Amino acid sequence: MPLQVYNSYSRKKEVFESITPGHVGMYVCGPTVSGESHLGHARPYVTFDIVYRFLTYKGYKVRYVRNITDAGHFEEEGREAEDKVSKKALLEKLEPMELVQKYTNLYHWAMRRFNNIDPTIEPTATGHIVEQINMIQKIIADGYAYVVNGSVYFDVKKYAATHDYGKLSGRVIDELLETTRELEGQEEKRDRADFALWKSAAPEHIMRWTSPWGEGFPGWHIECSAMATKYLGAEFDIHGGGMDLQFPHHESEIAQSTICNHKAPVRYWMHNNMITINGKKMGKSYNNVIKLTELFSGDHPLLTQAFHPMTIRFFILQSHYRSTLDFSSEALTASEKAFKRLWDAYETLKQLNFAGNTSSGEGFDAELDAKINTWLNEFEEFVDDDFSTPKVLANMFEMAPIINSLKDGLLPSTAIAAATLQLMKDKFKVFLEDIFGLQAISGADNEALKGVMQLLIDIRKEAKTKKDFATSDKIRNQLAELGILLKDEKGGEMSWSIE
RNA sequence: GGUCCUUUGGCCGAGUGGCUAGGCACAGCUCUGCAAAAGCUUCUACAGCGGUUCGAAUCCGCUAGGGACCUCCA
């Protein structure tokens, strides 16, 4: 069954065919690194990580480009206003690249904890100023942009006369032209619908580059067009991002790239839906974000506990990427338990071994065996169907009781064929680990381990008090074999560390 | 105001017109020294009203609620 993806541009599912056989070019809008990533940001990166992993599984060589937006109107809360006064020494002032570095590092840390595979290219906007300027010049040369006071604007009205501006986001151009909203700097534009390709920088603006039009900085949309064109070509396969980027960001990207490269840039537009909290979109402007660091530490009034990145990944996979996903501590707790049960069953499955089983032997359950094969074969079918990860998980949960029953002998070990068991092991591994990118929750930062260690310490203390050195030594020696060092301290206290 | 989307059992969440998705919680039972884990069983919902159809959670209309975008936003 071929892969089908929902194309936001056509508003329907389409069979996926790459432009270059065997290769896929995919661009995903990355973070603006002027602040800390929150739960809402996690969704696209997990979603498109699955897309990347699945395409790779399908045999494609994927060039996955995900940008870092590190240029623009940058400020850090509480610092910007002060810096505008600008009488401080250099080292006291906000250094934009310092800010960008800090949040880029934090973002990368979070991505690794989610077990997201790094994109093959992660370009920065500031590293592609030249490409952006070149692109703007081409657009001006073609007559679709104009310069005013050192800024450059895209002429949407002219573009719309011959192109379908608004198709991706379902806008009607006439309505856009009539928008009554009053915004700063709008008077320079010929038309309200026009958008900036390059902005002249006011004296206090902290990020600025020299351009043919004076000192300034690039408009928000041009970076993606420039970098996607550079690394993926004038036309590429998949462009992903959050639904909230459809307009104006992606709409503008289409317009710029189309004028510059003389063809529509993207074959398949994919948009993930929002994560909501109490039914409302999680977003900075709504003041309802939960940062990833808060989620991992549990340090937030709405959280009853800390949540492991794998729990969050699993939580995201339990819903379809085009549906909103409502966050609550309760929902995450449910996901945590569910994930643990599923993963335990998977670990159990790996230990099972019924090598001699045949489909004609004593105790063989043909119906069960067939059902399992059906469930397993549906894995790929479901992901093929626009990445229906929740259905795959549902099938896995159908098999969890079977796995556990086989282990406990509640089902005869001869009930399923050896080949079926092997297929189960293979499919679970491929889908759970390789495609879904899930992994075991473990490590020394685990509260459970700390509890276990305290328990052992208590037992050892008691044993020592009773001069039961056989027991106390056993505990210490066996832990040492596991790489855990137990240390006696003055006053009878004990501490431990992992070597 | 404009455009579009959405409304599923206590909660989360799949659902291509026809057979109980799944998870979590709850309850009962089995197992167990106790517990946990595990297993089994129970809980059959589709906002309301009307229509199309042999048959609708699924299609159409109206009403009500919620949301997204139109400005930075994943």
pLDDT, tens digit (0-9, with 9 covering 90-100), for A75-116 = 555 455 444 444 556 666 678 888 899 999 999 999 999 999
Q: Is the CB of A31 less than 7 A from some atom of nucleic acid strand B?
A: yes
The pLDDT of residue A355 is 84
* A4-272 matches A280-435 in fold: no
Q: If we measure between CA atoms, which residue out of A374, A378, A392 comes closest to residue A436?
A: A392
Give A316 CA → B8 C1' in Å. 19
Distance from residue A421 (CA) to nucleotide B45 (C1'), in Å? Answer: 35
Of A102-116, A296-310, A434-448, the poorest mean pLDDT is in: A434-448
Domain extent listing, chain A = 4-272, 280-435, 447-498
Q: Residue A350: CB partners within 8 Å, gap ≥ 6?
A: A425
Strand B closer than 7 A to residue A243 Cβ: yes
Asked if A191 CB < 7 A from strand B, the reply is: no
At A497, the pLDDT band (50, 70, 90 cuts) reads low
The Cβ of residue A399 has, within 10 Å, a number of other Cβ atoms equal to 20
Q: Which nucleotide across the nucleic acid strands is nearest to A405, CA versus C1'?
A: B39
More confident call, A248 vs A80:
A248
CA A320 – C1' B27 distance (Å)? 31
pLDDT score of A120: 98
End-to-end CA gap in chain A: 49
Question: Is the pLDDT confidence value at A364 over 50?
Answer: yes
Q: How far is the CA of A373 from the C1' of B48 (A)?
A: 43
Tokens of A243: 């639904």
Taking the C-alpha atoms of residue A42 and residue A496, their distance in angstroms, rounded to an integer, is: 35
More confident: A455 or A299: A299
Residue A325 CB in 7 A reach of strand B:
yes
Lowest mean pLDDT among A80-84, A284-288, A491-495: A80-84
Question: What percent of chain A has pLDDT above 90?
Answer: 69
Parallel/antiparallel/unpaired status of strands A145-148 and A151-154 = antiparallel
Q: Taking each helix axis as running N to C, give the angle between helix A418-428 and helix A366-384, from 0 to 180 degrees, rounded to the nearest 10.
A: 30
Could you give the percent of chain A with pLDDT greater than 70?
91
Considering Cα of A215, then A220, then A226, then A231, what sign does the dihedral take? positive
DSSP string, A176-245: HHT-----TTGGGSSSTT-EEEEEEPPTT-S--EEETTEEEEE-TTHHHHHHHHHHH-SSEEEEEEEGGG
A363 confidence band (pLDDT: 50, 70, 90): confident
Across A87-91, A331-335, A452-456, the highest mean pLDDT is recorded for A331-335
Specify the pLDDT at position A73: 65
The set of residues, in sequence order, having a beta carbon less than 8 Å from that of A259 and lying 6+ positions away, is A138, A139, A142, A144, A159
Within 345-374 of chain A, which residues have Cβ less than 7 Å from strand B?
Answer: 345
The reply to whether A218 has its C-beta less than 7 Å from any atom of strand B is no
- pLDDT class of A445 with cuts at 50, 70, 90: low
Task: Spell out which residues of A between 37 and 96 contact strand B, using CB within 7 Å.
Answer: 40-41, 43-44, 69
Q: How far apart are CA A475 and CA A486, in angstroms?
A: 9
Name the CATH code of domain A280-435 (choices 3.40.190, 1.10.730, 1.10.10, 1.10.760): 1.10.730
Out of A171-175, A325-329, A375-379, pick the least confident.
A171-175
The architecture CATH gives domain A4-272: 3-Layer(aba) Sandwich (3.40)
Q: Which range is least confidently modeled, A66-75, A84-93, A230-239, A400-409?
A: A84-93
Average pLDDT rounded to a whole number, residues A380-408: 95
Point out the nucleotide closest to A166 (alpha carbon to C1′).
Answer: B3
Average pLDDT estimate for A468-485: 84
Q: What DSSP designation does A301 have?
A: T
Q: How confident is the model at residue A451 (pLDDT cuts 50, 70, 90)?
A: confident
**CA of residue A5 to C1' of nucleotide B68, angstroms:** 22
Q: What is the mean pLDDT of residues A443-450?
A: 66
> Please, which pLDDT band fits residue A184 given cuts at 50, 70 and 90?
low
A410 touches strand B (CB under 7 A): yes
Q: What is the pLDDT of residue A483?
A: 75
Encoding tokens for residue A122?
Answer: 């992660």
d(CA A407, C1' B22) / Å: 22
Question: Percentage helix, strand, coil, to 5, in chain A?
Answer: 50, 15, 35
Is the model's pLDDT at A292 over the cut of 70? yes
What is the residue-averaged pLDDT of chain A?
89
Q: Would you state the pLDDT for residue A82?
A: 44
CB A169 within 8 A of CB A156: no
* CA gap A426, A428 in Å, rounded: 6
Can you tell me the distance from the alpha carbon of A351 to that of A432, in angstroms, rounded to the nearest whole number?
A: 16
3-state helix/strand/coil string of A337-370? HHHHHHHHHHHHHHHCCCCCCCCCCCCCCHHHHH
Bigger pLDDT: A389 vs A85:
A389
CA–CA separation, A221 and A226 (whole Å): 9
Rounded Cα distance between A51 and A64, Å, is 10
A324 touches strand B (CB under 7 A): yes
Give A61 CA → B64 C1' in Å.
50
